[in-house]
Amino acid sequence: MENEILRRPLGRRRFLGLSGSIAAAGAVGAACGYGAGKNVYEAGTATALASGPTQAPPAQSTPAAAAGARPKASGKLATVRDASLAPADTNPNKTLVIEVKDAVVEVAAGVQMSTWTFDGHVPGNVVHVRQGDTINFTLRNNGTMGHSIDFHAAETPWNINYKTILPGQELKFVWKANFPGTFVYHCGTAPVLQHIGNGMYGAIVVDPATPFAPAREYWLEQSEFYLKAASPSGWEGDLTRMQAVTPDFVVFNGAANQYQQQPLAAAVGERIRLYVTNIGPTLFSAFHVIGAIFDKVYVDGNPANVLRGVSTYTIPPGGGATFELVIPEAGQYPFVTHAFAYTGLGAVGLIEVK
């Protein structure tokens, strides 16, 4: 389907001297009126595309929109989040401490957002454990308001262990990773929409008791950002836009288009395993790799739930899946949410196969 969609801007793409489907994907975003600024490599290209309808999402009634102040990516991200999944350590009795803290993060090139975080990152650190592990967990609130945590990999009472704690407080509980899979964790304090929308989430991967075969492994967490102007960072979360589902950016691992700036590496014929979660807070992900087919999709990341030969797979908000693919030919393979009104907002990365 994307070929038909991508064909339209092709002439313009050639005119601009671009090559590769990623440029076309960016142009699609721009053509939809959703372009969040740069979605291509070269500054000159981005400037050319920015002369098109790349700046304004559909008119909103928020003060920032009324003032014409919408966030726009510019330049390059200062850092690109490492998407490699480090192996889980082999100790079955694990200690995990997560600290809540406020932080300013770059959600698109040059766009700084004041966020509420787990461990200072959006998403928080990836938690990687093994099925059967016992997790001795501590949540420490060094933020400025009440927060909590909800592990989708855990079976534990919500009213006891997912309760909100105030700044300066700690919450400890022990849980067991009974189910293997690819899960989210998030703050569950009301309004949850706002706490997730402001950056309080991460991913947790539970390896199955019988491990998967060796592969090149990456984690990707899709999410949306809804912004309004704020000082001193420039931007902060906008609950009104979250409620209206009018995102400024839709991203993988916390920053728009970051894996165009620094693609994920893989080799021809190598098994690639992607642990993909979607924290939303509201949008579904239609996860797809352009030019490839998933050899296997493990629903929720559980090896008992296997699908074969899948092109695009839905990941609901709060869900996850594990994808395996083997790419037979060298080149660039964009991974996207195939919901194209959102793709151009930053949900395009690249797998570079050599």
Footprint of Cu ion on this chain (CB under 5 A)?
A: 147, 187, 189, 195, 200
**How many other C-beta atoms are found inside a 10 Å radius of the C-beta of residue 57?**
18
Whose Cβ is closer to Cu ion: residue 94's or residue 140's?
140
CA 5 to each of CA 29, 38, 70, 348: distance values in angstroms, whole numbers, following the listed order: 11, 19, 27, 15
User: Please, how many CA atoms are within 13 Å of residue 149, restricted to the half-sphere of its CB?
Assistant: 30
Phi-psi category of residue 343: left, alpha or beta, with phi > 0 → left and psi -120 to 50 → alpha: alpha
Q: What angle do CA 155, 157, 159 make, to 5 degrees?
A: 150
Q: Which is nearer to Cu ion, 9 or 143 (by Cβ)?
A: 143
The CA angle 114-49-71, to the nearest 5 degrees, is 15
Shorter beta-carbon distance to Cu ion: residue 131 or 189: 189
Say which amino acid occupies 322: T
Minimum CB separation of residue 103 from Cu ion in Å reads 13
Which of 111, 187 has the CB closer to Cu ion? 187
Residue closer to Cu ion by CB (options 53, 191) is 191
* Phi, then psi, of 242 in degrees rounded to 5: -60, -45
Tell the smallest beta-carbon distance from residue 196 to Cu ion (Å). Answer: 8
Give the nearest distance from C-beta 153 to Cu ion in angstroms. 19
Nearer to Cu ion, 124 or 334 (CB): 124
Shortest Å distance, C-beta 96 to Cu ion:
18
Identify which of residues 80 and 192 has a Cβ nearer to Cu ion in the complex. 192
Output the smallest distance, CB 312 to Cu ion, in A.
32
Residue 202 CB, nearest distance to Cu ion (Å)?
12
Q: How far is it, in rounded angstroms, from Cα 165 to Cα 179?
A: 27
Q: Which residue number, 196 or 348, has a Cβ lying nearer to Cu ion? A: 196
Of 201 and 235, the one with the shorter C-beta distance to Cu ion is: 201
**Closest residue to Cu ion using C-beta atoms:** 187
Rounded CA-CA distance 218/274 in Å is 5
What value, to the nearest 5°, has the Cα angle with vertex 166 and ends 138 and 104?
Answer: 85
Give the DSSP letter string of 116-170. Answer: EEETTBSS-PPEEEETT-EEEEEEEE-SSS-B--EETT----HHHHT--B-TT-E
* Residues 284, 320: Cα–Cα separation, whole Å: 11
| DSSP assignment string, 60-109 | --SHHHHTT------S--S-----B-PPPPS-SEEEEEEEEEEEEEEEET
Task: Tell me how far, at minimum, the Cβ of 146 lies from Cu ion, in Å.
Answer: 7
Distance in Å, CB of 150 to Cu ion, minimum: 10
Longest dimension (CA), the chain: 60
Alpha carbons 127 and 206: distance in angstroms, whole number: 8
Minimum gap (Å) between residue 200 Cβ and Cu ion: 4
